[in-house]
Amino acid sequence: MNHYLIVCRSVTQAQRAGRLLTSFGITNQVFRTPVGLTERGCSYSVRVRSAQLDRAMSVLQSNHIVPVKVAAV
């Protein structure tokens, strides 16, 4: 498991999270969440490397972005 998916509620929140992480030098990609990871239906996720997850979550938390969930992939 080299990556984690930070599951967001919407494409807009995922874009906001992705751009914020980029501005902190955290490499990421925004794409659609695999169906198995979403209970409520379609959503978008931000993928980060495992080694950067803790820092990514800290950045998101300090900017009041609350993900739906985090899953290893």
Partner 1 sequence: MIYFDAAATTFQKPPSVRQAVLRAMETMSSPGRGNYQSAALAAEMLYTCREELSALFGVENPENVVFTSNATHALNLAIHSLVPAGGRVVISGYEHNAVTRPLHAIPNLQIHVVNTALFDQEAMLRGFRDLITEDTDAVICTHVSNVFGYILPIGEIAGICRQRGVPLIVDASQSAGSIPIHMGELGAAFIAMPGHKGLYGPQGTGVLLCGEEGKPLLYGGTGSNSREQAMPDFLPDRMEAGTHNMPGIAGLLAGVRFVRRLGVGAIRRHGFQLKEQLRQGLEGDGRFHVYASADDGVQAGVLSLAPRDTDCETLCQTMAEAGFALRGGFHCAPFAHQTVGTILSGTVRFSVSAFNTNEEVESFLQALRKQKIYK
Give the C-alpha separation, 26 to 34, whole Å.
Answer: 22
Closest CB 4 distance from partner 1, rounded Å: 18
CB 6 within 8 A of CB 45: yes
Query: Does 73 sit near partner 1 (CB under 8 A)?
Result: no
Q: Is 57 helix (H, G, I), strand (E, B) or coil?
A: helix
Site string for partner 1, 14-33 (x = CB under 8 A): -xx--x-----------xx-
Residue type, 44: Y
* Interface residues toward partner 1, by CB under 8 A: 9-13, 15-16, 19, 31-32, 39-44
